[in-house]
Amino acid sequence: MAGSRPMTGARLRILTWHVHGSYLYYLSQLPHTVYVPVKPGRPEGYGGRPPGRAWPHNLKEVGADELKRLDLDAVVFQSQGPYERDQYALLSASQRALPQLYLEHDPPRQGPTDTRHIVDDPTMVLVHVTAFNALMWDNGRTPVRVVRHGVSVPTEVRYTGEIPKGLVVVNDLAKRGRRLGLDLFLAARERVPLDLVGIGSEALGGLGEVPADALPALMARYRFLFNPIRYTSLGLAVCEALAVGLPVVGFATTEMPAVVRHGVSGYVDTDIERLIAYMRDLLRDRARAQVLGEGARAYAARHLSLARFARDWDQALAAAVRLRPARETRYAAGGRYD
């Protein structure tokens, strides 16, 4: 039964759904037990632990039809279906009364400034992954927290830049069109050597999908990462590239200018001609790329650590509990229980 145990330990029991595999991996690094529901055939949102990662033991799969038996402390929604529909079919009334958070991964699509978020609930917490996203959504009455990405890469992986090409990491780019920068990638590839990796990249002559555990070591060998995306949230591939020490070249839109410092950890601009010139410079000057890579790694160490990510999530969870305090004890900010 949900809520049968006082919250006196250091570990919460959190239910969420599988929406973005890479984000789920980093969420599972928190010092809590995370449950993800699965359904036969593993349809969207119910895929559980996807392959390609060494998943920690605290991320646990549970059959969707068994959710009502779980003793939980909080529920984190990540997409519209589970929030608007599935919670009423799969969760008990007491589970639906638990502290709830909605993790929004994307900026608004319908209109960049006037789109109302589907959550309008003063007893929930709306978590945005970037400050840009929080700025652009009309968040209504829902309290907002920003939890910026946190990433990790193997300590033995170091930037070398030995491959005189740029790397592009985007899933299904051929199908996702202008918003993800298909035309910009194709135009740049005409003039700069670029390798594309990701799901479905073969359709564009790319190298295919690379297992997530192997991606950092591959990134480290390229001269720079090119991010052709016009309008979406900050990709975890950009954060992982910075953590590896890989210079990032991309368009100065959404959160990118706040994360990639121009001339320090890479280059950002809204002019593709200038970006192509920067990429050509990095291909000619490996030493310059190395300097930018050091700036990238230093930024990631200061701002993209998993320790900071965990602290921010603990504070968001604490805020959610304060909004729905009908529990034996409350979860206090800073990762402690009272």
Q: Is the dihedral of CA 95, 31, 124, 21 positive or negative?
A: negative
Tokens of 231: 């309008």
Contact 289, 223 (CB under 8 A): yes
Tens digits of per-residue pLDDT, 289-315?
999 999 999 999 999 999 999 999 999
Tens digits of per-residue pLDDT, 55-100?
999 999 999 999 999 999 999 999 999 999 999 999 999 999 999 9
pTM for this model (two decimals): 0.91
Contact 324, 98 (CB under 8 A): yes
pLDDT band at 54 (very low <50, low <70, confident <90, very high): confident
What pLDDT score was predicted for residue 326?
59
Q: CA angle, corner 288, sides to 283 and 293, nearest 5?
A: 95
Give Cα separations from 28 to 22, 38, 115, 148 (angstroms): 10, 16, 30, 15
201: pLDDT strictly greater than 70: yes
Which helix (DSSP H) or strand (DSSP E) does residue 75 occupy? strand 74-77
Give Cα separations from 226 to 166, 167, 276, 297 (angstroms): 6, 6, 10, 16
Residue entry with tokens 């973005």: 20
Tokens of 220: 């480290």
Domain chopping of the chain, boundaries: 13-150+305-337, 163-303
CA atoms within 13 A on the CB side of 2: 20
Nearest Cα to 28, choosing from 46, 62, 2, 54?
Answer: 54
What CATH architecture is 163-303? 3-Layer(aba) Sandwich (3.40)
Tokens of 45: 């949102």
List CB contacts of 183: < 8 A, sequence separation 6 or more.
none
